[in-house]
Structure 1
Amino acid sequence: MMTHSFSTETEQDAPGSAPARDEARQAFADRVPAPPNAMIGRERELDLVRGLLAREDVRLVTLTGPGGVGKTRLALALAVDAGDTGTCGVAFVPLAPLHDATAIPAAIAARLDVQETGDRPLLVDVTDRLRDDRFLLVLDNFEHVLAGAPLVAALLLACPELQVMVSSRRRLGLLGEHEVPIAPLTVADPRQLTTVEALAEVPAIRLFVMRAQAATPSFALTEAIGPVVAEICQRLDGLPLAIELAAPRTRLLSPAALLARLTHRLDLLTDGPRDAPERLQTMRQTIAWSYDLLDPAAQTLLRRLAVYSGGFPLAAAEAFSTEECDAPRKRANEPGQTAESVLAGLTALVDESLLQITDQPDGERRFAMLETVREFALEQLEDSGEAPEAQRRHTAFYLALVERIDPWQALPQETVQRLQTEHDNLRVALSWSIARAPDTALQLASGLWRFWSQRGYWSEGRLWLEQSLAAAPDAQPAMRAAALIGAGRIAIAQGDFDHAGRCFEVSLALAKTAGDHHGAARSLQSLGVVASNQSDFDRAADLFTEALGRFRPLQDQAAISRCLTDLGLVAHRQGDAKSAISSYEEALSLASAMGDTALVELLLGNLGGAYVSAGDLARGEALYTEALDQSRILGDQFGIAVNLYNLADCVKDRGAIAVAWDHYRESLGITHELGDRHLSSRILDRLAHLLTIAGLPRSAGRLLGAAAALRQQIGDTLFPIEEESVAEAITITRAALGNEAFQAAWDVGGAMPSGRAVAEALAIELPPALNERRVALQAQLKLGLTTREVEVLHLVAAGQGDKEIATTLAISRNTASKHVAALRAKLHTASRTGAVAAARDAGVL
């Protein structure tokens, strides 16, 4: 029996996961953010788009209009509406943080929680996820990544149940696209006299009053100020963002004073140059008006904060409070920034609606700019001459964050989540440093490879590492060696072992040149990982032993324990359970002394597998159970999946088939959710074996074909010790079905998308009396009877003749007679009654 043992160094790191919860509700909340406020004045647009989405011939709807018109808010309302109906899946994908169209598949995958697998393009994994489900995909802010429009067309072509809704300042220009122009909110004509009650029903005025009351609860629309508010909204063209920026000023200015300030600005808002981009004909001047109302210190802060992409925490804003950053401003006799003034500036920017605040799961406050505001602020930053220093400060802040990470340890969930939240900022820092500070780029990329590996950003992470290495050919050898190891580790996760080996060979040479003993040891250990994954176990053992010999004098207990774990795994795969136990137990002692609970969990499971291989099933099962308990305490979903798999193997061998089935299915659900295909393929093989035992060989044949196809897709191969159990499953399933039927089932499974194969496996319920069925199957296989022949045998025992059997099974009488003749021959009897008696004696009936 093959147990599944893992090293943090030899297997792909699995993404972290959230605690147990209502899965359906949480999945929707993760994919569609809650609307920030009530929808005002969009009843017609809502009804129009709902009608379009209800039509089967409408696959692509694009909401178009100028910046600030409310496309995102409308798209969000429609997404929530679609989710509330429960008729389809929904995901809301914000594209504003992206820098180019090539990042669109990653953005969609992140929202769908699809992990990149093997060497397949991420778009293929996204397509597989959406192919068979009725789904509404909402792509928000598409205008700056229009080059990605063919990707939308490809998804619609490959996924017949998919609908896409896009918000963009420009249509995509695709066949079948239904464009819905979104106009500004309706405004009142201030030249016509009307009642205050009628004004209060005008959408633009309703929005203004709501936002004014949010800033000043006592604000009320009266006969005196009603017409003034109507004119303000009219001069703002009814643009929601402009209204939301203006209305809070009523806390300081009367509506009349506010209107007076708009006189000059309004001309600029409505009469911009015709050859300017559309977004600059309205919103740019609206934001300029708000910007001009800030004091100089707040203006300076807004400009600098524009370097952050996707939001930032308070500590990031405080990165601009140093004397060095303020030196250029002080030379110009402009105000500097202290920690206190930064906080005051943030307050002012929030009050002006130029920054929004969101609460993070850990309780930390996070600040973000609307993209139109950020565009304007970046222009001001460039004009001020502060951009290089601001970007340097931004990069330094995120370098300090990355330097606190040890990429040689599995990252805890909170660290993974923090880096995920800051991923857009990390991308900005990498882009800037590759162009202007290559050594810094190497430091960033070298520190982030573990995050990219755990989160499944394999292609992106590998590209950043390769670009950083190319940008810094003359960097210190130790720095390049660290980046090469990171690139190689990600290549291992992708199954590209040849490339990984080349990276590690170069990193080893560089580390030796630099006298970097740690780097050399890690390179050797990494080369051992490659050899182990290529089943070159003798070389792997030699490399791990050499690496261990280098780690011991350095007294790096964490590295020693992981190297011992790798040695144990190699010994286990070679069938040397005794040596594996010895290595694992030494590693476990070190990990326990260090308090490394994640490694302790892993080693308990690996040690359990070694004891099972040594024949001590009771000890192995006890260790697996302990490892499973530990993984549940840690919330380690991948560890839970691995330990369930191993425990299922154990209980299956002692005959607890139903318990094993439940463990395998729970493990499969977790691995599929995490996007891990390596272990998923093994679980499908195990489930197939149990299905044949349970009398469901056709389903078993499909799962065996699906498992083999899954391994082929990711370039995965079975270890020799695994091949035996899979071969057994294939043999008994083929025997139960016959060659032709088995091949047909195998082919059907091989053509299934992985998601469908997993869904089929999870939907199957095993029949009762499994232990009795297992005895009957063993007898059937011993006699060489196919499943069809057993069906015929049962009908013969019930007293049916050939004609009745043919009718019952919907086959010809001649075929039925051939089956009866085959039964008599295999059971060595000349009569039908003799065949029944022989079958009962053998345990088939």
Structure 2
Amino acid sequence: MKQAAHHLPRYLDDFIGRTRDLQKLGEALQKYRLISVVGFGGVGKTRLAVEFSRQQALNFQDGICFFDAYTSRNTNEFISMIAKSFDITDVKIERISEFLAEYFQHKHTLLMFDNLEHLSDIGVFIRNLLAGCPSLHILVTSRERLKVRGECVFKIHPFNFEAFESDFSCNEAMQLFDSRARMVNPDFTLTPEHQGWVFQICQLLEGIPLSIELVASQVYSHSLQHILKFLQDNLLLSADHVSIDLDDRQRSMKSVIDWSYQLLDAQQQKVFRSLSFFDAKFDLDETLHMLSFLFEQQHIQADPRTLLTSLMEKNLLYHKVGGDGRVLIFYLDVVKVYARTLMTAAEKEELLDLYTRYYFQRIQTNREAPFDVQSEYFILHASNIHQTIRANLPERPWLSAQLVSYIWKYWQASRYFYLGLTYTDALHAAYQRVDPHHRNNEFGLSIVNTLIGAAWISNDNFDFEGSRRYFTQALEVAQQHQNLLGMAAAYQGLAHLCMFWGDLQQADRFTHMAQQIIEQTGNPDQKCWIQSHQGRLLFTKGQYSEAETYFLESLQVFQERSNTWGMAWTQLHLAELYFETQQFDRAETLVQNQLNNTLLSFEEMNTVRLHLLLLATKVHLALGRTQQARDTLQVCLGHFADRTRAIKVNDLMGVQILLLVQEGATEAATQLIHQVMQSKQTVATINSMLDINCCAALIGLQEGSFTEARKMHQLCLDIHQQFGWAISPRRATLYQQLQHQLAVLA
């Protein structure tokens, strides 16, 4: 048997980067005799393994032999090629391992086997060969591991970008681009301006070495700006880089990925295509749940975990552990684009239908869980849910409307609330475009629920005009479909707005209309909401005993029906009644009980929690407990600090003004009043106008501006008279104190 002289491939360009990987491979070689360098196609496995082998040449006295399995159609063909190189011929395939083991038994040799991913049973041959040759080492490159005992798996990734600031010398991806660009264009210079463009190009190429080399070759005939625009338009897969001297599967990124795709079985290919539907990373557990649903609907007998794991093993899917401990699955962008090009229009439509039904089912199922669990699910998967809504919007807006109607409360409780309003506008516009004969009742109901949700979101953010518009649109759609509950909810919302705008007559009218409808439907929850709302109207008019009765009766029914929202809001209004009638102890007890209620989550009802905290602050102020008031307000500000656009900001400012006035910080209070008055978000509610003007009168007294104090005091009285807003006992006491001090000073 002759000594084989299979030298390592020689390249005409420099090896760039991978310093840390080379070091780790060296450490691995000290411990293991079989090392598999694995990773995505084009990530640089072969080049790294060849460079490493070259550096290790002096450590293998009997040489290094390189064998490329790419052209071998199967394992036996590859084994025969190896045997032939050692002059082993006319030997049965099952005995070749014995001859090779005999040859390498006492030799200190490194065998490098390149591109083994398509030889699924090669592991047995390698294991047997190593078992009989104690000094033999084997280095393998493949897109997936061999899965044999004793194998050290060394996975390499695309180049990392985190090190780049202003010095590109720390960025291996940019170094590679610069090196290859200079080879085709010696005049290419990586100026500071060019560095920014190259950094963006390498980011779009996701640090994949082969992609960088292919694209850098275009510097021969294209500017960096043109190349960047080319990549931003997602045209990498369509590029034909025939000038690159590579084998067929590496002529383009499309060829690279296609080689891996063709090695998948039919079920793996289906999962590979199906998951490319979504833009964002996806949670491992959710993905398994989703695939189980898809397989069940399509009558596929397969294990989702096995298929998903196989795609990760083949490095077509990547995974990472997030900061919260969740395992996230994702594609490289170029792989995702490739997968999407494989889907027919019919398959895309089928997937959209399946994913839509999947999220219907998931959201409906989650309704049985506590709201914080529901909200967490929505936040984690909001991107995919939103994508499903957007995808249905052009052709199937009724499905988008149904999804939106299910999730508007999560928008209301999260940072996504403005997105909810955007979708609501788009859905209402789509509804208007649909032929009236195709506006079925289910579509209409979803639109009504969505519009009412948007109206309350707008109300919570003091966009009263937007709130009125949404309630009015909801009423129109509900009337078209004779949706009585929708009509009642819209009338109730309009009554709420009218009351706080000061139009009590119109508020009475809308409340009466809502009540008439609810009496027809017999819906107990809606009936209680109307009754609670009537209590607020009576409270505003100064009929405190009757209002309390309405609140208590509504509260009892809400408790019997375990309606958490109804209980929370009704108890808040009852506490406000006690506060305004100077029953401070009762108000404080009710507020504290609510704040200590574990069922009242911040996420679900952040607005009612806000009002409870603000009312607690006012109670402290009324009882002269300034420090407690400041502490409570700070808790409120601390929790809602990152939600300044998602809550009633001016309510916070109003209580801050009250606190500053009581502390005697008149200058700061004046500045805050001026800020509220000048702001485009000025609150137009009666309560806010009364509070601000009263504070201005108190500041006038403290600063000796008696004329201004009288003016502000009189303005408060005029507002009560103009809008029919009763002067509560608490306000009456405050006004009397103002009048007394003004009379004394006069």
In the superposition, the TM-score normalised over structure 2's length comes to 0.59
Q: Give the Cα–Cα distance (whole angstroms) in 2 for the partners of residues 708 and 344 of structure 1.
A: 63
Aligned to 2:358: 397
Q: Give the Cα–Cα distance (whole angstroms) in 1 for the partners of residues 212 and 293 of structure 2.
A: 34
Aligned to 1:602: 569
Aligned to 2:222: none
Amino acid at match of 2:313: D
- Unaligned 5+ runs, structure 2: 1-16, 22-39, 61-106, 118-138, 156-207, 219-226, 240-251, 710-736
> In terms of mean alpha carbon deviation, does 604-613 or 470-479 score higher?
470-479
Q: Higher relative CO (CA 8 A, sep ≥ 6), structure 1 or 2?
A: 1
Aligned to 1:815: none
Aligned to 1:699: 668
Gap change, CA 1:576 and 1:668, over 3 Å in 2: farther
Contact 1:187–1:230 (8 Å) recurs in 2? no
Deviation per residue, 1:732-763 (Å, 9 max, x gap): 324444679x99xxxxxxxxxxxxxxxxxxxx
Aligned positions of 1:51-90 closer than 5 A: none
Contact 1:638–1:670 (8 Å) recurs in 2? no
Of residues 356, 364, 373 in structure 1, which corresponds to 2:335? 373
Q: Give the Cα–Cα distance (whole angstroms) in 1 for the partners of residues 149 and 260 of structure 2.
A: 13
RMSD of aligned alpha carbons: 4.9
Aligned positions of 1:198-597 closer than 5 A: 224-225=109-110, 246=142, 248-251=144-147, 277=231, 279-280=236-237, 283-310=253-280, 311=282, 313=286, 314-322=288-296, 325=298, 337-338=300-301, 340-356=302-318, 367-382=329-344, 386-402=347-363, 412-472=371-431, 473-474=434-435, 475-477=439-441, 479-480=443-444, 482-491=446-455, 493-494=457-458, 495-597=462-564
Aligned to 1:333: none
Contact 2:455–2:471 (8 Å) recurs in 1? no
Q: Give the Cα–Cα distance (whole angstroms) in 2 for the partners of residues 267 and 684 of structure 1.
A: 57
Amino acid at match of 1:343: R
Gap change, CA 1:247 and 1:322, over 3 Å in 2: closer
Deviation per residue, 1:430-482 (Å, 9 max, x gap): 22222232322232233333332332434432332232333342312552354
Shift of 1:490: 1.9
> In terms of mean alpha carbon deviation, does 369-378 or 410-419 score higher?
410-419
Amino acid at match of 2:670: G
Aligned to 2:652: 683
Deviation per residue, 1:766-824 (Å, 9 max, x gap): xxxxxxxxxxxx99x95999xxxxxxxxxxxxxxxxxxxxxxxxxxxxxxxxxxxxxxx
Q: Give the Cα–Cα distance (whole angstroms) in 1 for the partners of residues 649 and 46 of structure 2.
A: 51
Shift of 1:713: 3.0
Shift of 1:601: 3.1
SS in 1 for 2:413: helix
SS in 1 for 2:624: coil
Q: Give the Cα–Cα distance (whole angstroms) in 2 for the partners of residues 245 and 703 of structure 1.
A: 68
Deviation per residue, 1:325-383 (Å, 9 max, x gap): 47xxxxxxxxxx22x34333122123333335577999987644343332221112238
SS in 2 for 1:599: helix
Shift of 1:589: 0.5
Gap change, CA 1:420 and 1:614, over 3 Å in 2: same
Q: Give the Cα–Cα distance (whole angstroms) in 2 for the partners of residues 715 and 382 of structure 1.
A: 53
> In terms of mean alpha carbon deviation, does 599-608 or 632-641 score higher?
632-641
Shift of 1:421: 2.1
Aligned to 1:674: 643
Gap change, CA 1:643 and 1:463, over 3 Å in 2: closer
Contact 2:114–2:142 (8 Å) recurs in 1? no
- Unaligned 5+ runs, structure 1: 1-38, 44-66, 71-182, 200-221, 233-242, 260-264, 327-336, 744-777, 786-825, 828-845
Gap change, CA 1:358 and 1:195, over 3 Å in 2: closer
1:614 aligns with 2:584: no
Deviation per residue, 1:572-623 (Å, 9 max, x gap): 3343333331222122101211223343233222211112223322222221
Gap change, CA 1:374 and 1:268, over 3 Å in 2: closer
Contact 2:572–2:591 (8 Å) recurs in 1? yes
Gap change, CA 1:302 and 1:692, over 3 Å in 2: same
Deviation per residue, 1:143-180 (Å, 9 max, x gap): xxxxxxxxxxxxxxxxxxxxxxxxxxxxxxxxxxxxxx
Mark the structure with the bigger radius of gyration: 2
SS in 2 for 1:615: coil
Q: Give the Cα–Cα distance (whole angstroms) in 1 for the partners of residues 271 and 550 of structure 2.
A: 57
Shift of 1:395: 2.1
Contact 2:444–2:477 (8 Å) recurs in 1? yes
Q: Give the Cα–Cα distance (whole angstroms) in 2 for the partners of residues 590 and 315 of structure 1.
A: 39
Q: Give the Cα–Cα distance (whole angstroms) in 2 for the partners of residues 591 and 724 of structure 1.
A: 32
Contact 1:521–1:551 (8 Å) recurs in 2? yes
Aligned to 1:103: none
Shift of 1:661: 2.1
Contact 2:448–2:477 (8 Å) recurs in 1? no
Gap change, CA 1:655 and 1:410, over 3 Å in 2: farther
Gap change, CA 1:361 and 1:413, over 3 Å in 2: farther
Q: Give the Cα–Cα distance (whole angstroms) in 2 for the partners of residues 602 and 545 of structure 1.
A: 20
Aligned to 1:194: 55
Q: Give the Cα–Cα distance (whole angstroms) in 2 for the partners of residues 502 and 782 of structure 1.
A: 45
Contact 2:41–2:143 (8 Å) recurs in 1? no
Gap change, CA 1:686 and 1:427, over 3 Å in 2: closer
SS in 2 for 1:575: coil
Amino acid at match of 1:581: E
Contact 1:602–1:627 (8 Å) recurs in 2? no
SS in 2 for 1:289: helix
Deviation per residue, 1:697-724 (Å, 9 max, x gap): 2222233333444xx33352232x4433
Q: Give the Cα–Cα distance (whole angstroms) in 1 for the partners of residues 561 and 141 of structure 2.
A: 54
Q: Give the Cα–Cα distance (whole angstroms) in 1 for the partners of residues 529 and 425 of structure 2.
A: 27
Gap change, CA 1:360 and 1:187, over 3 Å in 2: closer
Contact 1:244–1:353 (8 Å) recurs in 2? no
Amino acid at match of 2:349: P
Aligned to 1:238: none
Aligned to 2:618: 649
Aligned positions of 1:708-723 closer than 5 A: 708-709=677-678, 712-719=679-686, 721-723=687-689
Of residues 635, 659, 684 in structure 1, which corresponds to 2:628? 659
Aligned to 1:839: none
SS in 1 for 2:611: helix
Contact 1:477–1:511 (8 Å) recurs in 2? no
In the superposition, the TM-score normalised over structure 1's length comes to 0.53
Amino acid at match of 1:493: I
Identity %: 16
